[in-house]
């Protein structure tokens, strides 16, 4: 960055907060006094509305018992579908294409078991070498389940620099041996946004099914999955969507695939009108509901009800606008304040391909993260040398960003990080 768009004073940060149209949403969240939380891209903070909706589901259990499936403020039987309808606008999908169900990993297994149909020459799965490990483990196991060897039938596109991917390299790897592709929408380390529209078009030109892992993009950037004609997508709801630790995840299936029998069926795959007929022949739902398996985890679904209210009020376009501005502000501050301290900015600087977090690399990253926590700043360490910092649009202030950079500067100047061991904690 050569042109400076920001002042570097605390007063200026406070002035930006006064102008912030989303500032009032900060009051919706539980923020510990003296803490600057910059880890919402890993686990979002608890909101008062999420707490309220969780307690309401517990109350319905207390009041109705088993009748809570069909009675109360949020009847449980179709709650997953109702929440799918509310998430659909966040990803540019039709309401019937989205369902709240499972976890990221179980939903990957479901989608791959459904769409990975090796035939003839097309027997391989394509991914990348920067994606989150659970995606890799699930894809490798699905290759094995089809009787193939992951060493020969699981293809990973290599990064040229260890931080980002070249889309041309991904397209080049779309050979006539590839049956299915799963890629991240946003890379979990560097925050690079992949061009989902372009990659989908190129996959479809070659007759390949393609899906995306939206874990690090949903709630942070805008999507148009229907317009891009993506085949399927999966995601968790506990990062930017603040649904709580272990919150139930979600999946999207393009309506062009409706009628396909789920690869992993269970009784919640059923057409709702037939489910309690208890037949031993499955009649799948005619929409994304078909890709559910077991009974919804109601107490882990409940916080999402309140969280989505906040997103509906804030508006995804407004959230993305602030996210781009506050991350730009943070990058500018880092460049100005942390020169010659050994940091390298690993995330894209271009707004069009930058997700919701900043990614710094430093050889002392693990120790620096521990020092930040000791000073009340909550970052996210990613081995071997990455520091993720996420100023989340709903609850991070510009003053938070200013203070966190000043704290980081002081840590480096005073070498506070040397008090700590340079290895990660059990949960990084």
Residue 428 has a pLDDT of: 67
Spatial distance between the Cα atoms of 40 and 356, rounded to a whole number of angstroms: 9
402 is in an annotated binding site: no
Residue 154 placed within a domain: yes
Lay out the sheet containing 344-345: strands in order across. 344-345, 358-361, 386-389, 380-382
The last residue of a domain, from among 312, 330, 346? 312
Residue 191 placed within a domain: yes
Residue 424 placed within a domain: no
Tell whether 187 and 72 lie within a shared domain. Answer: yes
Tell whether 269 and 147 lie within a shared domain. Answer: yes
Residue 308 placed within a domain: yes
Spatial distance between the Cα atoms of 98 and 251, rounded to a whole number of angstroms: 6
CB 306 within 8 A of CB 55: no
Tell whether 165 and 276 lie within a shared domain. Answer: yes
216 is in an annotated binding site: yes
329 is in an annotated binding site: no
Residue 1 has a pLDDT of: 37
Residue 4 has a pLDDT of: 56
Tell whether 326 and 353 lie within a shared domain. Answer: yes
Tell whether 93 and 169 lie within a shared domain. Answer: yes
Tell whether 62 and 171 lie within a shared domain. Answer: yes
132 is in an annotated binding site: yes
Residue 425 placed within a domain: no
CB 248 within 8 A of CB 219: no
Its domain, for residue 382, covers 10-30+315-419
The last residue of a domain, from among 261, 292, 312? 312
The last residue of a domain, from among 312, 339, 374? 312
Q: What is the CATH number of the domain that holds 390?
A: 3.90.1150.10
134 is in an annotated binding site: yes
Q: What is the CATH number of the domain that holds 294?
A: 3.40.640.10
Exposure on the CB side of residue 181, measured as CA atoms within 13 A: 29
Tell whether 307 and 329 lie within a shared domain. Answer: no
Tell whether 148 and 234 lie within a shared domain. Answer: yes
Kindly report the pTM of this predicted structure.
0.96
Instruction: Return per-residue pLDDT of the chain as tens, 428 residues.
Output: 344 578 999 999 999 999 999 999 999 999 999 999 999 999 999 999 999 999 999 999 999 999 999 999 999 999 999 999 999 999 999 999 999 999 999 999 999 999 999 999 999 999 999 999 999 999 999 999 999 999 999 999 999 999 999 999 999 999 999 999 999 999 999 999 999 999 999 999 999 999 999 999 999 999 999 999 999 999 999 999 999 999 999 999 999 999 999 999 999 999 999 999 999 999 999 999 999 999 999 999 999 999 999 999 999 999 999 999 999 999 999 999 999 999 999 999 999 999 999 999 999 999 999 999 999 999 999 999 999 999 999 999 999 999 999 999 999 999 999 999 887 776 76
Tell whether 246 and 265 lie within a shared domain. Answer: yes
Residue 399 placed within a domain: yes
Tell whether 223 and 361 lie within a shared domain. Answer: no
Residue 5 has a pLDDT of: 73
283 is in an annotated binding site: no
CA nearest to 1, candidates 391, 352, 333, 355: 333
Residue 105 placed within a domain: yes
Residue 218 has a pLDDT of: 98
Spatial distance between the Cα atoms of 345 and 329, rounded to a whole number of angstroms: 14
Tell whether 75 and 222 lie within a shared domain. Answer: yes
Exposure on the CB side of residue 167, measured as CA atoms within 13 A: 16
Query: Residue 280 corresponds to which tokens in the numbers above?
Result: 């031993």
25 is in an annotated binding site: no
Residue 388 has a pLDDT of: 98
238 is in an annotated binding site: yes
Query: Residue 124 corresponds to which tokens in the numbers above?
Result: 């391989």
Number of domains in the chain: 2
Residue 62 has a pLDDT of: 98
Residue 197 placed within a domain: yes
Residue 38 has a pLDDT of: 98
Residue-level length of the chain = 428
Tell whether 251 and 154 lie within a shared domain. Answer: yes
């Amino acid at each position: 960055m050569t042109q400076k768009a920001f002042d570097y004073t605390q007063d200026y940060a406070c002035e930006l907060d006064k102008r912030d149209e989303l500032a009032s949403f900060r009051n919706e969240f539980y923020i510990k006094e003296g803490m600057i939380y910059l880890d919402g891209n890993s686990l979002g903070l608890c909101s008062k509305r999420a707490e309220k909706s969780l307690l309401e589901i517990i109350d319905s259990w207390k009041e109705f018992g088993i009748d809570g499936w069909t009675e109360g403020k949020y009847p449980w039987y179709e709650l997953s579908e109702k929440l799918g309808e509310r998430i659909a606008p966040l990803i540019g999908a039709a309401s019937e294409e989205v369902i709240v169900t499972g976890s990221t990993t179980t939903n990957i297994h479901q989608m791959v078991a459904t769409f990975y149909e090796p035939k003839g020459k097309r027997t391989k799965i394509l991914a990348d070498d920067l994606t989150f490990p659970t995606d890799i483990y699930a894809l490798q196991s699905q290759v094995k389940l089809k009787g193939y060897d992951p060493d020969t039938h699981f293809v990973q596109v290599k990064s040229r620099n260890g931080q980002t991917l070249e889309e041309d390299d991904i397209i080049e790897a779309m050979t006539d041996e590839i049956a299915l592709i799963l890629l991240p929408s946003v890379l979990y380390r560097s925050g690079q946004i992949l061009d989902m529209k372009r990659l989908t078009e190129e996959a479809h030109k070659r007759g390949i099914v393609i899906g995306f892992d939206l874990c690090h993009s949903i709630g942070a950037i805008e999507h148009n999955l229907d317009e891009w004609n993506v085949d399927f997508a999966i995601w968790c709801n506990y990062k930017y969507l603040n649904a709580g630790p272990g919150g139930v995840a979600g999946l999207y299936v393009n309506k062009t695939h409706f009628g396909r029998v789920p690869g992993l069926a269970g009784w919640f795959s059923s057409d709702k009108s037939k489910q309690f007929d208890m037949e031993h022949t499955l009649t799948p739902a005619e929409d994304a509901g078909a890709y559910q398996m077991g009974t919804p985890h109601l107490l882990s679904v409940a916080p999402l009800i309140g969280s989505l209210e906040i997103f509906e009020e804030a508006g995804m376009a407004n959230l993305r606008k602030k996210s781009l501005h506050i991350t730009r502000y943070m990058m500018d501050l880092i460049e100005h304040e942390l020169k010659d301290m050994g940091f390298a900015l690993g995330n894209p600087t271009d707004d069009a391909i930058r997700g919701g977090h900043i990614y710094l690399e430093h050889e002392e990253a693990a120790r620096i993260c521990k020092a930040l926590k000791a000073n009340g700043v909550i970052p996210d360490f990613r081995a071997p040398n990455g520091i993720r910092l996420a100023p989340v649009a709903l609850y991070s202030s510009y003053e938070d960003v200013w203070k966190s950079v000043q704290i980081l500067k002081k840590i480096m100047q005073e070498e506070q990080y040397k008090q700590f061991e340079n290895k990660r904690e059990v949960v990084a």
